[in-house]
Structure 1
Amino acid sequence: MLTPSVTIEEKEHLRSATDALLRIIFPPQALIWIMGEEYGSDGPVWRVTLACQGELGGWMRRRYRYDIPSGTLHFAGEQPLTRSELQAVRQNTRRLT
């Protein structure tokens, strides 16, 4: 299935909408880095992968799906990050502010 092209303006709108919902989920002082964002190939969804501290204190890679028609953010799973992955994320990706 081909992924529809998304304009720069649409990407910025989706990023802003997703960031606003993530700010509701995470406390203001939380350290969150956005590792990746992409338009989904399986429907009108914006996929976000981020790094954050898990509930037990370890660093995790979490995935979220932003359903564009409904404006809903869905949790899509998490995996632990290694120290080297975390270091690369902190150096090379944007922080949610």
Structure 2
Amino acid sequence: MGFWKRSTASREAPLSPEARRQRLWERAMGRLRPTLPSDSPSWVLGEAYDVENALVWFDVVMRVGSGWVRRRYRYDGEVDVLYFSGEVPFPEAELDRLPPERMVWPAGSLLRPASAGLEERPRLAGSQGEGYNWK
């Protein structure tokens, strides 16, 4: 059989939505890791998923210069790209309120998605993340 006659169908069983979400999250954290400061902790918060379109949105609280910021990211798993969507200042007094289980260091292990109580994100009307709460 010539190469043009080979079956293109995948022989692997399709992944469950939870397994696809986990794989998407691991790839997003792999792209995020090089952007994290090496001398201070960061917190990954508020992830939202669109598994059907291989998208995940999340915020990261990190130290930048002499202050703290909350950055917004969007990871597109289809093309394996992490997009920076902006930042706002984060008050240092609020650091104590951040959940310790969401803290990450660049050299540490990957975070697991906070799946407790998470629902699938509904499809977005546009590509800019309408409907995403920017707190």
- TM-score clears 0.5: yes
Question: Deviation of residue 24 (structure 1)?
Answer: 1.6
In the other structure, the counterpart of 1:38 is: 48
| Equivalent-residue separation in structure 2 for 1:10 and 1:32 (angstroms) | 25
- When Rg is computed on C-alpha atoms for both structures, the one with the higher figure is 2
| Equivalent-residue separation in structure 2 for 1:15 and 1:49 (angstroms) | 13
In the other structure, the counterpart of 2:125 is: none
Name the % identity.
28
| Equivalent-residue separation in structure 2 for 1:49 and 1:93 (angstroms) | 15
Structure 1 portions without partners, runs of 5+: 1-5
2:90 paired with 1:78: no
Map residues 54-73 of structure 1 onto 2, 5 A cutoff: 54=64, 56-73=65-82
Choose between structure 1 and 2: higher strand proportion: 1
| Equivalent-residue separation in structure 2 for 1:80 and 1:93 (angstroms) | 22
Moved segments of 4+, more than 6 Å: none
| Equivalent-residue separation in structure 2 for 1:88 and 1:8 (angstroms) | 28
Question: Deviation of residue 14 (structure 1)?
Answer: 1.6
Q: Provide TM-score, normalisation by structure 1.
A: 0.75
Per mean C-alpha deviation after superposition, the further-off stretch among 57-66 and 16-25 is: 16-25
Structure 2 portions without partners, runs of 5+: 1-15, 109-135
Aligned residues: 89
Instruction: For residues 19-77 of structure 1, give each alpha carbon's deviation from its aligned partner in whole angstroms, at most 9, with x where no partner exists.
Output: 1111122244441111121114xx542101110012x3211100111012101001000
Question: Once superposed, what is the RMSD of the aligned Cα atoms?
Answer: 2.3
In the other structure, the counterpart of 1:48 is: 58
